[in-house]
């Protein structure tokens, strides 16, 4: 299960500089899961001795991330007004809420 650590504007390491909106720690993989909003992706970055991160989801304006006890990650997609669910090693995320544009109606 992940643990929320902060909401920050920049994460700066040896080779990274992202416009991040949210970060959590994934204890299972010992890595950071980073919402890279400006570059429309989610990045996984090793916590220990990580020379580089990898893009795990593309084409997503990720604004927030959380996880559940089943190992799923939930990402809020800012521009499409939806929540996507994803599990480590899956290729794609599934829309589980929203996706109907701006507004608060269910239809």
Check residue 21 and give its pLDDT: 79
Q: What is the mean pLDDT of residues 65-91?
A: 86
Cβ atoms of residues 42 and 61 within 8 Å: no
Q: What is the pLDDT of residues 5-53, one digit of tens each?
A: 443 334 444 434 557 778 888 888 888 888 888 888 888 888 777 667 8
pTM score, whole prediction: 0.72
- In angstroms, the CA 102 to CA 99 distance is 8
Best CA proximity match to 3, nearest among 22, 28, 33, 24: 24
- To which residue do tokens 């916590």 refer? 47
Closest listed residue to residue 36, CA positions, set 16, 52, 51, 13: 16
């Amino acid at each position: 299960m992940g643990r929320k650590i902060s909401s920050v504007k920049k994460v700066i390491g040896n080779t990274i500089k992202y416009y991040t909106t949210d970060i959590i720690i994934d204890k299972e993989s010992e890595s950071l899961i980073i919402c890279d909003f400006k570059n429309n992706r989610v990045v996984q970055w090793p916590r220990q001795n990580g020379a580089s991160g990898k893009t795990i989801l593309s084409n997503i304006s990720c604004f927030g991330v959380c996880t559940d006890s089943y190992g799923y990650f939930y990402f809020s997609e800012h521009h499409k007004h939806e929540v996507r669910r994803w599990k480590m090693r899956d290729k794609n995320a599934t829309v589980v809420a929203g996706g109907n544009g701006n507004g608060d109606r269910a239809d």
